[in-house]
Amino acid sequence: MRLACAILVALMVIDGSTALVAAQGGTIPLTKIDVSGTFEKKSDKTAEDLSGIACLAPQQDKRSCLLINDENRKAQRAMLEGDRITAGAMVTLIGKEPSTKTLGAAPEVTCKTPDDFDDLDGEGVAYADPYYYVIGSHGCSRKKGKFRLSSFILARVSADPAASGDVETTYRVSDLLRQAAPVGDFFGRDLESANGLNIEGIAAQGDQLWLGLRAPVIGDSAYLVPATVSDLFAAGHEHSVAKPKPVAVKLDKRGIRDLAALPDGRLLVLAGAPHGPEVPFKLFVVDPASGASEELGTLAAVEQTIEGKPAVGKAEGLAVLEANPDRVSFIVLFDSLPNGAPHRGAVDLPKPKRN
């Protein structure tokens, strides 16, 4: 009996050579996706901080995707075919200085220390025809509590590679967050010491956007903040006057680490620790209309050896690949591992519970 239990525990960890993990006790099996080329961070180094992905519907069994890491001003295109993803062209989202073309007005944020305009701190990617949307964290830097205006931007870029130079950006997400009670009280606070507001995911359903908050978690509830594309990307530099009503979601006291839209209007949500030590990452299906959530299972841990030392990935990026009323397949990326260590998974979906 002890030997059997030990084997089951061992099967919950994936290394670079394991193809499939057996599901047991709510663990969701994952299959490794091979990477061709390199997903890049600054100075042409291999990215170990991929944090968001979105993919289009397949064309001749190939999917165009866009990936983001949180230490860059650029996103990167990719092509997913079967169990292989090929890195493609870089797409510049923001420059080295603030742009006068950015819609809305730059926010004034009460982080501990002001800092230079730097990286986007990209945390999530969503797709709604014809654009990809890439969201910054909209939070103070985690280690030193610095305010970087570049992190308080939402960018959108055409999914058509031929039009990738046409990038639009907006500051208006900050307007919404300030007005979004009760989470607005945590805007501009430190993540670790004050449960400060941080966006870690975005989902798109036509004009509707859902912003997934890693923090704050208030009581046992995480939060989704609704927004609309038409409001955030309206012409001009006026502030948004929208007052969104955040949706409280119970995710086993976890925060949202990413999310993706399902065809039936629900959301597939990746949940993890809001701050402090990491905990096992779980998947939930959430109805944003009501906040109702159901746990789907726990992702098996993904581990690799880097420079002779074991490294466990942090699940950060999530995209839906195929979905029907009963089952969803997805791709997940892992922070702290080279090229995001992409893996594929699938899990059964419960029936929607709607009146």
- Give pLDDT tens digits for 98-115: 999 999 999 998 898 899
What are the structural domains of the chain?
A: 2-348 (2.120.10)
d(CA 121, CA 125): 12
Tokens of 200: 């870690």
Rounded mean pLDDT of 8-30?
Answer: 51
Report pLDDT digits (tens) over 256-304. Answer: 999 999 999 999 999 999 999 999 999 999 999 999 999 999 999 999 9
Rounded mean pLDDT of 162-189?
Answer: 94
Three-class HEC string of the chain: CHHHHHHHHHHCEECCCCCECCCCCCEECEEECEEECCCECHHHCECCCEEEEEECCCECCEEEEEEEECCCCEEEEEEEECCEEEEEEEEECCCCCCCCCCECCCCCCCCCEECCCCCCCEEEEEEECCEEEEEECCCCCCCCCEECHHHCCEEEEECCHHHCCCEEEECCHHHHHHHCCCHHHHCCCCHHHHCCCEEEEEEEECCEEEEEEEECCECCEEEEEEEEHHHHCCCCCCCCCCCCCCEEEECCCCEEEEEEECCCCCEEEEEECCCCCCCCCEEEEECCCCCCEEEEEEECEEEEEECCEEEECEEEEEEEEEECCCEEEEEEEEECCHHHCCEEEEEECCCCCCC
Helix and strand tally (H, E) in the chain? Answer: 4, 27
pLDDT higher than threshold 60 for residue 312: yes
pLDDT higher than threshold 60 for residue 205: yes
Rounded mean pLDDT of 232-248?
Answer: 98
Report pLDDT digits (tens) over 327-349. Answer: 999 999 999 999 999 999 999 99
Question: For residue 142, what pLDDT is reported?
Answer: 83
pLDDT higher than threshold 70 for residue 350: yes
Report pLDDT digits (tens) over 118-144. Answer: 999 999 999 999 999 999 999 999 878
